[in-house]
């Protein structure tokens, strides 16, 4: 429990978030008022869609909600089905009978297990991609989509196999406290994973090139924003991703860790947004960089994993004792215990979802504030630029302006686009008696 307390202290250290300034509080109140006085799912003064786009957005949202929650339920149901039908125990018996080596057994079990769960989830995945294509959000061919699925499957099997071997080593050696040992081992693995992802994983799915190669003028302006925040983001750390091969939506993000940390801007953002709007998006991304969101993200994930493993270990022990004989899983050392553990994960994760999405929303809001402050003095009117950027971002994704606040609270990783636009319009920290939050 000492670790839990330490992590909580780190997460809530005063420097991590900072108290809201008066300007921020006023803007938040004004944005909330705007949302409260506008129709639910309808347009708001700071962000609007055409009637046709609004209708599309509402349909897309309904479909997304269905697939999201159905996916969570199906995840639990499919694992129960596999266990109850004896497919897990038969797979386990087959691999232990056929192979001597524990490594081969582990990898063979995982391969068959992943094949079954991937096939069972495929209809939902296909439906989600079909929706994206029919609404023009994705332009990726089915062949390319299937290729990505195959790559993802292979990576999960290859790296997942190592994790599974480590997991069962912990369970074998420490039958009662394995979850804590596994959690300790997961910390350096997660950090290493985040470090290598931009080098090893991302290039397998998308094409990247230095931003300066095609956008030298833009890079100069981006450097102005970087200098204003006293950041050290050299042009070599700015990349352009050819997202237009697959999607029509806009994005930019920060990824990596230490020497691999970088800012990535999608080419779709450059095609649809003005140079000022791209500066704001970059300012927002720099905010994640400067406000140490990656490190905080790792700490939050570790805290989440700690809680998840702690409860899942208890659920696993209980489920094996209670249903083990009917599922054909005699102990937590059996390969089939992996399915039971994932079942426990799948039951707990949906309950943790509002906590994790609320945490990321706080970070995203902080990055919005930072982004707006970072372009002050570089663009004519930061509030209008930020609002216009949200308008373009939202329009291209058919984001509804004023979604249900319960849905936003439970599932949204970012504040709704309408809330972000309304905040941007009302955030005026350079007015008399006010002060900026981050860049004084
Ligand atoms: Zn962000």
Domain ranges of the chain: 2-7+22-209+286-426
Query: Which of 309, 355, 302 lies closest to 6 in space, CA to CA?
Result: 302
Distance from the alpha carbon of residue 262 to the mean position of ligand 1, in angstroms: 13
| Tens digits of residue pLDDT in 409-421 | 999 999 999 999 9
Residue 337 to residue 321: CA distance in whole angstroms: 12
pTM of the model: 0.89
434: CA distance to ligand 1 center in Å? 25
- pLDDT tens for 195-218 read 999 999 999 999 999 999 999 999
Helix 51-84 to helix 337-374 angle (10° resolution) is 160
CA of 265 to the centre of ligand 1 (A): 12
Cα Rg, the chain, nearest whole Å: 24
Give the strand order in the sheet containing 208-210: 208-210, 238-241, 262-266, 252-255
Instruction: Give CA–CA dist 59/421, Å, rounded.
Output: 22
The Cα 417–Cα 209 span in angstroms is: 29
Question: 3-class DSSP state for residue 346?
Answer: helix
Residue of 294, 297, 302 lying closest to 257 (CA atoms):
294
CA of 292 to the centre of ligand 1 (A): 12
Asked if pLDDT for residue 284 goes beyond 50, the answer is yes
Q: What is the Å distance from ligand 1's center to 364 Cα?
A: 5
Tokens found for residue 428: 């005026």
CA 373 – ligand 1 centroid, Å: 15
253 Cα: distance to centroid of ligand 1 (angstroms): 7
Residues bordering ligand 1, an ion, CB closer than 5 Å? 364, 367
Distance from the alpha carbon of residue 351 to the mean position of ligand 1, in angstroms: 23
Question: CA 429 to CA 1: how far, in whole Å?
Answer: 41
- Residue 392 CA, ligand 1 centroid: distance in Å: 16
Q: What is the largest CA-CA distance in the chain?
A: 77
**pLDDT tens per residue across span 140-178:** 999 999 999 999 999 999 999 999 999 999 999 999 999
- Cα 170 to middle of ligand 1, angstroms: 36
């Amino acid at each position: 429990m000492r670790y839990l307390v330490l992590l909580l202290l780190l997460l809530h250290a005063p420097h991590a978030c900072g108290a809201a300034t008066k300007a921020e509080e006023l803007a938040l109140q004004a944005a909330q008022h705007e949302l409260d006085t506008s129709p639910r799912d309808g347009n708001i003064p700071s962000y609007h869609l055409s009637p046709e786009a609004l209708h599309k957005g509402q349909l897309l949202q309904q479909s997304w909600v269905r697939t999201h929650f159905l996916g969570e339920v199906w995840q639990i149901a499919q694992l129960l089905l596999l266990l109850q039908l004896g497919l897990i125990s038969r797979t386990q018996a087959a691999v232990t009978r056929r192979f001597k080596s524990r490594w081969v057994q582990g990898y063979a079990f995982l391969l068959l297990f992943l094949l079954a769960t991937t096939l069972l989830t495929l209809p939902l995945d296909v439906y989600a991609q079909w929706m994206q294509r029919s609404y023009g959000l994705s332009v990726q061919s089915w062949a390319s989509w299937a290729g990505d699925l195959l790559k993802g499957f292979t990576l999960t099997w290859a790296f997942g196999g190592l994790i599974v071997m480590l997991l069962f080593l912990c369970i074998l050696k420490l039958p009662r406290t394995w979850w804590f040992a596994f959690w300790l081992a997961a910390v350096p693995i997660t950090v290493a994973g985040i470090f290598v992802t931009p080098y090893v994983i991302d290039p397998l799915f998308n094409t990247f090139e230095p931003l300066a190669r095609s956008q030298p003028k833009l890079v100069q302006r981006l450097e102005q924003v970087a200098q204003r925040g006293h950041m050290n983001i050299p042009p070599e750390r700015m990349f352009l991703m050819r997202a237009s091969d697959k999607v029509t939506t806009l994005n930019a993000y920060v990824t990596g860790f230490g020497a691999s940390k970088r800012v990535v801007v999608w080419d779709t953002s450059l095609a649809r947004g003005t140079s000022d709007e791209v500066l704001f998006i970059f300012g927002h991304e720099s905010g994640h960089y400067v406000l140490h969101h990656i490190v905080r993200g790792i700490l939050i994930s570790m805290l989440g994993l700690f809680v998840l493993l702690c409860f899942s270990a208890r659920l696993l022990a209980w489920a094996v004792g209670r249903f083990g004989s009917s599922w054909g899983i005699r102990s937590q050392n059996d390969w089939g215990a992996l399915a039971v553990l994932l079942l426990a994960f799948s039951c707990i994760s949906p309950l943790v979802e509002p906590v994790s999405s609320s945490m990321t929303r706080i970070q995203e809001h902080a990055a919005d504030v930072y982004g707006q402050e970072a372009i002050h003095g570089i663009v004519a009117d930061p509030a209008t630029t930020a609002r216009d950027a949200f308008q373009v971002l939202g329009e291209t994704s058919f984001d509804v302006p004023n979604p249900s606040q319960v849905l936003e609270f439970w599932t949204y990783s970012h504040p709704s686009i309408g809330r972000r636009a309304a905040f941007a319009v009302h955030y005026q920290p350079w007015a008399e008696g006010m002060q900026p939050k981050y860049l004084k």
